[in-house]
Amino acid sequence: MPTPSPARKHTFTVVSNDEIADGIFSLVISAPELARAIKPGQFVNIAVPGNAMSLLRVPLSYESADPEAGTVTIWYAVVGDGTRRLSQMGAGSTSDLLGPGGHGWTVPEGCGRALLVAGGIGVPPVLCLARELASAGIAFDVCLGSATAGKLAGVEDFKRLGAASVSICTDDGSEGHCGFCTDPASELLAQGGYGYVATCGPEPMMAKVAAASADAGVPCEASLERMMSCGFGACATCAVETTGGMKGACMCGPVFDAKEVVW
């Protein structure tokens, strides 16, 4: 895999920052150079104002980029102090970010049909990939998992992009199938016909998707989350155990060949 060019610092202005599902926000930022450079599966590392004691940036994938408008859209869940402060940035506020970071998805040449499996806030980088598949004319099925209906995001977006099927699973049965999205994913894989699988979400979910893909003989990539203190290869907080030794998710990932990851 080619070494990515180092992430650059970009200043950005918030265009909008709205809650789109329970505790999940869609942040649109104006950052024209970033919008032209970023690729599906890459991430940005945002400096969020409002806490002089916190030097840590917040690493986030992106959901879409509009190079003509110069905007990048990010979906994030509010889980702690950094994302809470991010949710308080209104239109017109400014800050800076490092990006684009890491490697994105690598869809194999000649893939005619892909399976996309996303759980929780793993949806944005997978939705971003779906846009690319749709514009390349590659068919795709989607399996989405969420704790509950109120936290589901992206269902209509995947449908609008022309997904061949969208299977919804919730842990509490409040929408779609009651259970994990690994169930329909395994059933679809067993039916055959896929040339590629992409997954992002909780690690046990991705481990199951990786195993089902390996059983079906289909290449699978997984986007991993790690704590990221620097985001550019200097601190080792983002280490991932792989068959080739420890690798930093910020530079060698966040998207990994699922067979390479020691789950």
Q: What is the DSSP string of 56-111?
A: --EEEE-SEEETTTTEEEEEEE--SHHHHHHHT--TT-EEEEEEEESB---PPTT-
Residue 220 near ligand FES by CB under 6 A: no
- 193 sits in the region (left: phi over 0; alpha: psi -120 to 50; else beta) called left
Beta carbon nearer to ligand FAD, 80 or 217 = 80
Residue 4 near ligand FES by CB under 6 A: no
- Interface with ligand FES in residues 221-260 (CB under 6 A): 228-231, 233-238, 248, 250
Q: In whole angstroms, what is the distance from residue 98 CA to residue 70 CA?
A: 16
Choosing among ligand FES, ligand FAD, none, which partner's interface includes residue 79 (Cβ < 5 to 8 Å by kind)? Answer: ligand FAD
Q: How far is the CB of 62 from ligand FAD (least distance, A)?
A: 7
Angle at 123 (CA atoms; ends 46, 165), nearest 5 degrees: 160
- Residue 38 in tokens: 């970023």
- Residue 102 in tokens: 């890491």
203: nearest Cα among 258, 140, 148: 258
Beta carbon nearer to ligand FES, 83 or 213 = 83
Residue 56 near ligand FES by CB under 6 A: no
Beta carbon nearer to ligand FAD, 80 or 137 = 80
Q: In whole angstroms, what is the distance from residue 257 CA to residue 260 CA?
A: 5
CB atoms within 10 A of CB 9: 10
Beta carbon nearer to ligand FES, 168 or 224 = 224
Q: Residue count at the site for ligand FES (CB under 6 A)?
A: 12
Q: How far is the CB of 250 from ligand FAD (least distance, A)?
A: 7
For the chain, give percent helix, strand, coil, nearest 5.
25, 35, 40
Choosing among ligand FES, ligand FAD, none, which partner's interface includes residue 233 (Cβ < 5 to 8 Å by kind)? Answer: ligand FES
Choosing among ligand FES, ligand FAD, none, which partner's interface includes residue 237 (Cβ < 5 to 8 Å by kind)? Answer: ligand FES
- Is 72 within 8 Å of 125 (Cβ atoms)? no
Q: How far is the CB of 162 from ligand FAD (least distance, A)?
A: 23
Q: How far is the CB of 26 from ligand FAD (least distance, A)?
A: 11
Cα separation values, 101 from 4, 5, 24, 46, 64, Å: 8, 9, 22, 11, 15
Q: How far is the CB of 123 from ligand FAD (least distance, A)?
A: 8
44: nearest Cα among 20, 16, 5, 72: 72
Residue 47 near ligand FES by CB under 6 A: no
Binding site for ligand FAD (CB under 6 A): 43, 58-61, 75-77, 79-83, 121, 124, 225-228, 254
Choosing among ligand FAD, ligand FES, none, which partner's interface includes residue 240 (Cβ < 5 to 8 Å by kind)? Answer: none
Chain residues that interact with ligand FES, rule: CB under 6 A: 228-231, 233-238, 248, 250
